[in-house]
């Protein structure tokens, strides 16, 4: 059982992600402020448990994760399963779970992840519309299936996608989030996700298109949030959280970050973070030297 007020967790699914996981861990320890000493759980789903030795030396808890064959067809199955297992491990009444993708970094203390008894979840809207539905559109068969699976007919909560400014039915980003484990939402997420991944009619029908396959997990996650959490207890974080540096050039100029140092945490995907390559955003000390240490 975990009695810490906040616990970070992430996933190592492929051996090539190990450097990103290490960098994420060290960013928390370097820039996390009061969060820097929080426990960190790394769910290791690599075939040979690649990260066990190296990650244990980083003073984190490494938890082997076996992804069932029944859901391996979906790339994000490990992410959803890790969330469910983290929720099962956490102390429901005391802990806040903070998920960070392996391609994310902390640059400032993430104070918005402290739910403070007022919220059950803290997260960002999606970056771009992608499979999201505008509020003026009727439900399509994909979203009808998602809503039916979680017990909804439709949703009335609306968000604005950050990069392309679309007004959408509730659709949330999952690069990073903080959640109260007592909800049971993450275990329900995996249960519904597994059911839909194993539904051949759904998979070969309205979910067949690659973009629906890719973002199925995020659609189920979004629908469950609306189903299980009262709207006032959902904290929508500002753009300094999960800032999509991989989409930096597409962000409208008025909303585009000017310095890495102003951001709390970023998602960078395949973008170089070598300060010599950062021609479109400023980076200053001490962050600049820290990033230089990885190149």
Place of tokens 């945490």: 265
* SS3 letters across the chain: CECCCEEEEEEECCHHHHHHHHHHHHHHHHHCHHHCCCCEEEEECCCCCCCHHHHHCCCCEEEECCCCHHHCCCCCHHHHHHHHHHHHHECCCCCEEEEECCCEEECCCCHHHCCCCCCCEEECECCCCCCCCECCCCCCHHHHHHHHHHCCCCCCCEEECCCCCCEEECCECCCEEEECHHHCHHHHHHHHHHHHHCCHHHHHCCCCCHHHHHHHHHHHHHHHHHHHCCHHHEEECCCCCCEEHHHHHHCCHHHCCCEHHHCCEEECCCCCCCHHHCCCCECCCCHHHHHHCCC
* Total domains, the chain: 1
Cα 205 from chain centroid? 27
Evaluate whether residue 221 is within a structural domain.
Answer: yes
User: Taking the alpha carbons of 205, 206, 211, 217 in that order, is the dihedral positive or negative?
Assistant: negative
Place of tokens 């959803």: 80
pLDDT tens digits, one per residue of 212-238: 999 999 999 999 999 999 999 999 999
Residue 71 belongs to domain spanning: 6-292
Give me the residues of the chain with pLDDT under 70, please.
1-3, 49-58, 295
Residue 4, pLDDT score: 76
Cα 228 from chain centroid? 18
Phi then psi dihedrals of residue 168, to 5 deg: -125, 155
Evaluate whether residue 1 is within a structural domain.
Answer: no
Residue 150, pLDDT score: 98
Tokens of 78: 């490990």
Residue 293, pLDDT score: 87
Q: What is the CATH number of the domain that holds 94?
A: 3.90.550.10
User: Taking the alpha carbons of 196, 197, 203, 206 in that order, is the dihedral positive or negative?
Assistant: positive
**Residue 66 CB-density burial (10 A; 0-12 exposed, 13-18 middle, 19+ buried):** exposed
C-alpha distances (whole Å) from 122 to each of 103, 184, 186, 191 are 19, 16, 14, 22
pTM of the model: 0.95
Q: Could you give the CA distance from residue 173 to residue 161 in angstroms, rounded to a whole number?
A: 9
Q: Could you give the CA distance from residue 199 to residue 144 in angstroms, rounded to a whole number?
A: 15
Pairing of strands 40-44, 6-12: parallel
Residue 23, pLDDT score: 93
CA dihedral 59, 271, 72, 181 (to 10 degrees): 50
Q: Could you give the CA distance from residue 108 to residue 219 in angstroms, rounded to a whole number?
A: 29
Q: Could you give the CA distance from residue 186 to residue 180 in angstroms, rounded to a whole number?
A: 10
Residue 47, pLDDT score: 72
Q: Could you give the CA distance from residue 64 to residue 36 in angstroms, rounded to a whole number?
A: 23
Residue 1, pLDDT score: 46
pLDDT tens digits, one per residue of 141-154: 999 999 999 999 99
Evaluate whether residue 112 is within a structural domain.
Answer: yes
């Amino acid at each position: 059982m975990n009695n810490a007020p906040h616990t970070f967790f992430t996933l190592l699914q492929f051996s090539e992600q190990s450097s990103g996981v290490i960098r994420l861990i060290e960013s928390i320890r370097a820039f996390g402020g009061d969060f820097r000493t929080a426990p960190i759980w790394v769910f290791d789903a690599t075939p040979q448990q690649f990260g066990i030795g190296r990650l244990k030396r980083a003073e984190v808890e490494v938890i082997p994760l076996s992804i069932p064959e029944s859901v391996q067809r979906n790339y994000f199955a490990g992410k959803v399963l890790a969330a469910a297992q983290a929720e099962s491990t956490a102390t429901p009444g005391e802990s806040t779970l903070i998920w960070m993708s392996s391609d994310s970094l902390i640059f400032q203390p993430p104070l918005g992840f402290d739910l403070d008894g007022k919220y059950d979840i803290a997260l960002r809207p999606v970056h771009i519309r992608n499979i999201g539905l505008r509020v003026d559109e009727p439900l399509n068969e994909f979203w009808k299936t998602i809503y039916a699976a979680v017990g909804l007919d439709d949703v009335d909560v609306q968000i604005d996608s950050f990069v392309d400014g679309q007004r959408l039915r509730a659709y949330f980003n999952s690069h990073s989030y903080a959640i109260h484990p007592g909800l049971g939402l993450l275990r329900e997420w995996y249960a519904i996700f597994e059911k839909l991944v194993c539904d051949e009619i759904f998979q070969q029908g309205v979910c067949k298109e690659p973009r629906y396959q890719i973002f199925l997990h995020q659609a189920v996650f979004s629908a469950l949030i609306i189903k299980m959490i009262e709207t006032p207890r959902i904290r929508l974080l500002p753009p300094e959280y999960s800032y999509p540096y991989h989409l930096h050039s597409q962000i409208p100029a008025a909303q585009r970050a000017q310095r890495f140092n102003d951001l709390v945490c970023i998602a960078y995907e395949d973008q170089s973070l070598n300060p010599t390559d950062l021609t479109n955003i400023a980076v200053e000390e001490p962050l600049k030297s820290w990033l230089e240490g990885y190149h």
